[in-house]
Amino acid sequence: MRAAVLEAAHRPLAIVDRPVPEPGGGQVVVEVAACAICRTDLHIADGELERAALPLVLGHQAVGTIVSLGEGVSGCSVGDRVGVPWLGWADETCVFCASGRENLCPDARFTGYDLDGGYAERLVADARFCLPIPDAFEPLDAAPLLCAGAIGYRALRLAGEGERLGLYGFGNAARIVTQVALDQGRHVFAFTRPGDEATQRVALELGCVWAGGSTERPPEPLDAAILFAAVGDLVPLALAAVAPGGCVVCAEIHMSDIPSFPYDLLWRERVLRSVANLTRRDGEELLAIAARIPIRTQVRTLPLAEANEALEATRRGSPETVVLVP
C-alpha cells in the first residue's frame, strides 16, 4: 500500500510503499476513503509536539471501511464504515478511564502521533475506539468531524450553557461548532484576524450575530468564549470579553505562551480552562447531532501523493478543510 510517512520533523513527507498491515488482537484494518488534515498534523511535522513515534504516518481524521478483523473483535464487522479519531487507545483501567475521562488516560495513545494514522491506503486501529459513521455522511463530509468537530463539540460542552458564545479563530472547527451552537439556540460572536473581512462575511452568512477582529470588544459581554487559535495573547482579550461567571476554553493542543495579565480579568468567578483530546462519547454525540442538523462542511480534496501540498495548504489557512483521498 501507499503511505505518506514523516521520517523526521521539519522534513517533507515521503510517499512510500509499505506492506499491507495485518490486525492484531482487538484491532481492525480500515481501507481509507478520506483523511482530513488537522493543524495538529502541522504541530507534529514541525516538531512542536516532540515525542511523536517517528517514522510515522500522520492523520487522525480518517474515514473508511473495515476490511479485516483481528482476534477478539466484537461490536463491528467487515464492511462497516468507521472513523478513526485522535484518541486511538486507552488502558480502560486507570481512574480517568473509569470515570469516563479516557481522554486524560496517562497511557493513552494517539492516532497519527503514537500510532500510524490515515495518510495511507489502509491503517490498523483499535476496534474499541473506532466511531461508527452515520449513513447521512459521505466520507468527505464525515472526515472533518472526527477532530475539528469532536474537539470543538467537547469545548462547547465545557464552555457551559450560556447563550452568548464567542469563537476566537473562525476556521473549520469554529464553523462546525457554530452550526451546533445555533441549533442549540445560542448567539455566536465570531472573532477573526484583524481586517479579515472575507472570513467575517462567512461568519455572518453562517448565522453569527456579530463578526469582528480578535482585538475588538464584542457589542455585549459574552457568557463564554472558545479559542480555536493557538495564540496565547488572545486569552486576556477573551477573559476581558466574558461577563462575570463566564468561561474561556482553550481548544488547541499546542499554544503559544499566555502573557501575564491582571487578576481583575479572572476575578468575579471567571473560569479559564483547556480541552485535552476527546472521548468516544464526544465523537459519538457529535456525529449523531451532525447527522440530525445536518452539519455541512466545505472540503478540498487532494490525492495522497500530494500530502505535502495538503499540509502547506492547511498551513496557509485554507478556507476549506483539506482532505486526502487515496
Cα–Cα distance measured from residue 13 to residue 324, given in angstroms and rounded to the nearest whole number = 13
Q: Supply the pLDDT for residue 163.
A: 98
* Intervals of the chain under pLDDT 50: none
Predicted pLDDT of residue 50: 85
pLDDT for res 68 = 98
Among 63, 23, 43, smallest CA distance to 287 is for 63
Look at the pTM and tell me if it is higher than 0.85. Answer: yes
pLDDT, position 319: 83
What pLDDT does residue 303 have?
Answer: 98
Question: Does domain 2-146+300-318 match CATH 3.40.1190.20?
Answer: no
The pLDDT score that the predictor gives to residue 25 is 97
CATH architecture label of 150-274: 3-Layer(aba) Sandwich (3.40)
For 187-235, write each residue's pLDDT tens digit: 999 999 999 999 999 999 999 999 999 999 999 999 999 999 999 999 9
Domain map (residue ranges) of the chain: 2-146+300-318, 150-274
**Per-residue model confidence (pLDDT) at position 325:** 98
Cell of 10: 521539519
- Cell numbers given for 38: 488537522
